[in-house]
Amino acid sequence: MGKTKLLFITHEMSPFLELTKISKITRTLPQAMQEKGFEIRILMPRFGNINERRNRLHEVIRLSGMNIIIDETDNPLIIKVASIPAARMQVYFLDNEDYFHRKYVFNDNKGKFYADNDERAIFFCKGALETVKKLGWAPDVVHCHGWMSSLIPAYLKTSYKDDPTFKEAKIVYSLYNQSFDNSLGADFTKKALMKGMESKDLESYNDGTHTSLNIGAIDYSDAVVIADDTISEEVLNYVKKSEKPVLEYDSTLDLENYYNFYQEIASDVLISVA
């Protein structure tokens, strides 16, 4: 039996971008799982404040050149890669001039939430899945971190459900505390629809708030990780009612618990881990 293949999709990771605790977890966890014998891939956006020269990013020509369609507009996708030599890990960066070449990440210099954060999230989620397909690498477990990855579970269970790359994959979604108070807009779910999807498939994402993005992701995930101690009661209650397997919050970030959780998920023995 080959190695378990574990895909991490995140909007931040140390040392490239450090906004919240997500960056620490997504730096520590993949390396620990790789050292335990898992095969790892990591994808994140190439935001404009990630220094390409210092981090030695370079374009992967064979993966670039795709267009991601959003609201009937073609958006070119460029794929770059960087290595973390100490961990022997590579990180793939999704780049697009219009969406990511900005000095700031989610808010402008006056703190205003970018109006196109909805399209940026859609672009990232669609682009991530198409990149993995182009890699020709079929993950056993897909672990999504952060609200920007929240559409991944829905896409995998609808539009990509019969795709050979993903049809056997189990989906894990990590819940973090609320990182924005805005909404992705009234047209978010309409823009987010893909081939093979209907409007009702994204109903749980309804208003594009942080809470509804989490609820939508929970609906389509196979398992949930409580990765923060300040998750809203509404979301925690929704997790409980969903009866999905849960890895409960642990302030020590016990990596052995993650290892066991992944093993159970990959082998279809899904239980909750306290």
Question: Between the CA atoms of 229, 173, 26 and 134, what dihedral angle is there, to the nearest 10 degrees?
Answer: -170
> What is the extent of the structural domain holding 235?
5-266
In angstroms, rounded to a whole number, what is the distance separating the alpha carbons of residues 136 and 29?
23
Q: Which two tokens stand for residue 23?
A: 């960056």
**Would you say residue 261 lies in a domain?**
yes
**Would you say residue 103 lies in a domain?**
yes
- Specify whether the CB–CB gap between 75 and 98 falls below 8 A: yes
Task: Count Cα atoms within 13 angstroms, Cβ side, for 53.
Answer: 0
Alpha carbon 71 to its chain's center: 21
**Would you say residue 235 lies in a domain?**
yes
**Would you say residue 85 lies in a domain?**
yes
**Would you say residue 273 lies in a domain?**
no
Residues 6+ apart with CB under 8 A from 22: 10, 11, 12, 13, 145, 146, 174, 176, 227
- Specify whether the CB–CB gap between 13 and 27 falls below 8 A: yes
Q: Which residue has the tokens 């609808």?
A: 158
**Would you say residue 123 lies in a domain?**
yes
In angstroms, rounded to a whole number, what is the distance separating the alpha carbons of residues 193 and 23?
29
Query: pLDDT at position 72, please?
Result: 86
pLDDT in tens, the chain (274 residues): 578 999 999 999 999 999 999 999 999 999 999 999 999 999 999 999 999 999 999 999 999 989 999 988 999 999 999 998 788 899 999 999 999 999 999 999 999 999 999 999 999 999 999 999 999 999 999 999 999 999 999 999 999 999 999 999 999 999 999 888 889 998 999 999 998 899 999 999 988 999 999 999 999 999 999 999 999 999 999 999 999 999 999 888 889 999 999 999 988 755 544 4
Q: Which of 150, 131, 7 is nearest to 68 (CA)?
A: 131
Q: Which two tokens stand for residue 178?
A: 């609320």
Query: pLDDT at position 267, please?
Result: 83
**Would you say residue 274 lies in a domain?**
no
- Sequence length of the chain is 274
Query: pLDDT at position 274, please?
Result: 43
Query: pLDDT at position 201, please?
Result: 95
Q: Which residue has the tokens 């040392």?
A: 15
**Domain CATH for 190:** 3.40.50.2000
Q: What 3-state class would DSSP assign to 3?
A: coil
**The dihedral of CA 199, 205, 206, 207: what is its sign?**
negative
Q: Which of 64, 47, 21, 195 is nearest to 117 (CA)?
A: 47
Structurally, the chain folds into a number of domains equal to 1
In angstroms, rounded to a whole number, what is the distance separating the alpha carbons of residues 184 and 203?
14
In angstroms, rounded to a whole number, what is the distance separating the alpha carbons of residues 90 and 188?
32
**Would you say residue 86 lies in a domain?**
yes
- Specify whether the CB–CB gap between 4 and 262 falls below 8 A: yes
